[in-house]
Structure 1
């Protein structure tokens, strides 16, 4: 069992909604912060604490700042993640969880905006809100050593739900991870929050708060050249050619090879068509033309 180290209460946070006495968690030495969005405009009740994080950040629009409510000590396991029995440890591993009041869902954002409901749409959060999150992360870095780093992929909701952009960590990667991530990155979980929050800007602000130098920029990886679309005539009944094999291999690589019993080959068949159709259905640009036969756009999206 881990021993708690460092300060356990975020300075200035309220304990008006303290749940640790009713739901005692496990002590742990934190090296990860997980960011959530509440998908509601006010401080949640969390079922009396049964599904609460360590802290919740509530926007104060009049003062243009975040008000923090602490529900558990920083290094006591909270309860806002899916944690399957006998599976990967999530809540109880090494994680301080933070809920950001507001939404990451564009549909919810439009609905609230139309209804005149004041709220934060976190992908377009105001500077004062991003600054508030950054100050918390800089405190976690300084007091608990949580690295100011995290995943590069923060896809927009709803594509972030499930594992639409392959952003979710495997069990082994999660067990080795330290830094800051979103609910969308945690294994055993399906939620897509906090969506396309400006993670790069938040880390930049957190580092500036501590007068830390920015890490050296990594050279952008070169993108593989997209092969030219050979033409529709190569993908139809009776077609036998290398383009069919190349297509099939790419479908398998992208996770759309479920209909192959053995594997892709040079002969076009129904399995190829069904796999292409599944890929087309997964892309909003192609859903209106998901007939299973590749065209220039299907080809470009599949190989990009």
Structure 2
């Protein structure tokens, strides 16, 4: 199990995996604090909302309803694949579940599916899933007729891979609500390939560079220049380079309140650059050797260094 990601690090991980993220007001502090533990976390749980429409669903999941206070998840995955972040911390999404499933997820020692759950909320022996799982609700009626678009399923794959990559988990740390509690059936419906297939796709993605499409096609013509500089690789910085990319990076670090420069920044990599970048990593929630000042892909993607 692991310590939950700090909000900025969660956003950085999602965006580095190619997820389109919408951050809703107050999501970093919106949670069920005081109503139980949050963490250590063991995995990611996928749900469907039994609702339609993005705006109304986001409000419902943020605020809850009679008998079930919000937030009801950490993020809502819309039909178009956009992920709406609404909470950070404990959320009312998983409820009580089977301890044998939790143990199988922690150890990742099951085959195609975790053991069939035999308990649920309110049953003796059920364990608190709200403390142990990130929860993502997907907009779907759950009536067996409402279709899951490919963009939404891909977003599930990317969200799950982002969190697994950030924590060093494998795909067996990703489960559906129906695999946690014996009285749940989500996620289901046409277009939803089932959790074993979702896990296969997540595991395949974990073996690739983040943010790359699962099956890229060669472009018919040169792609337009991206808005931000792509990550040039850790070795680039360790060679103490001289490049306009470093000037652009330094300016972004200063704009984020992380500048540790006496003058500049300039195009030559210096110790001031490394100290400034370490401050940025700490701002994202990285600690220890993960905040050593040497840029990595997730923190670089979150910095949004403009093209030079």
Q: Give the TM-score of the pair, scaled to structure 2.
A: 0.45
* Greater share of residues in helix: 2
Q: Give the TM-score of the pair, scaled to structure 1.
A: 0.45
**Which of 1 and 2 has greater Rg?**
1
Q: Relative contact order (alpha carbons < 8 A, sep ≥ 6): 1 or 2 greater?
A: 2
